[in-house]
Copies of this chain bind each other. A is one copy, B any other.
Amino acid sequence: MAAAAPPPPPTAPAELNMDLPTTHPLFTRIRLATKPDVPAIHKMIHQMAVFERLADQCSATELSLSATLFSKPTPFESFTVFLIEASTKPFPPSSISSSPKFTPIHKTLTLDLPISDPESENFKSSTMEDDVIVAGFVLFFPNYSTFLAKPGFYIEDLFVRESYRRKGLGRMLLSAVAKQAVAMGYGRVEWVVLDWNLNAIRFYEEMGADVMQEWRVCRLAGEALQSYAATSGTSDDLDCI
């Protein structure tokens, strides 16, 4: 199908190649994920686990993710995923049905080198649009501050596929969550970071985030959770409870 007006050529005209660096536009879109996106999300979760050297702790399957994600019609009230997708061609403006709760965010990046993505075949967008590749995701859900009497968002995972890293896509996903929080009148966005990951801590502090040194996360899981739930719980408590 021929376009009414041809898009501008992606590279500079040939006669200027000697004088100006060639640039490569990368068109990006952030949209809400739905059930058909589970296979791509599943692959990214496993890549994240390998990156974190925690693959042995990752038992997520497409089936278990499908059973627990995207079953509510309303985004943001429960577990929510933003996908960031990339294309070397502009996105048609109305190519996906936008939720009344969220309008996709488009941004065009200018890269010095084209993206080389050996896995692009495995990460084609579920929207079936030509040349649209899933590049990353953020999974978040509401939390609540009693002191503020306001909800906020907690970011459980933020991941950008290797071929798309260091181009600002992670920050675009974080920013999309922050914008959504502000749009909904929420008070906070929170996440966790490993204390030895000094690059990440510096990055978050430069964003304006407060990295809280005094709090420790407590987790009751697996057999300990099962056995605690089975106890009657009547022995003495702490002074404060």
Contact = CB atoms under 8 A, between A and B. Distances in A.
Interface of A: 45, 48-49, 51, 54, 57-61, 64-65, 67-69, 77-79, 107, 109, 136, 139, 141-152, 154, 156-160, 165-175, 178-179, 181-182, 187-196, 199-201, 203-204, 207-229, 231-241
B147 A45 contact: yes
A145 B149 contact: no
Contacts of A221: 152, 187-189, 210
Copies of this chain: 2
A238 B145 contact: no
A220 B181 CA distance: 11
Contact of A212 (B141, B217, B233): B217
A229 B166 contact: no
A187 B170 CA distance: 28
Most buried by B among A48, A192, A210, A241: A241
B195 A216 contact: yes
Most buried by B among A217, A227, A234: A217
B139 A142 contact: no
B241 A158 contact: yes
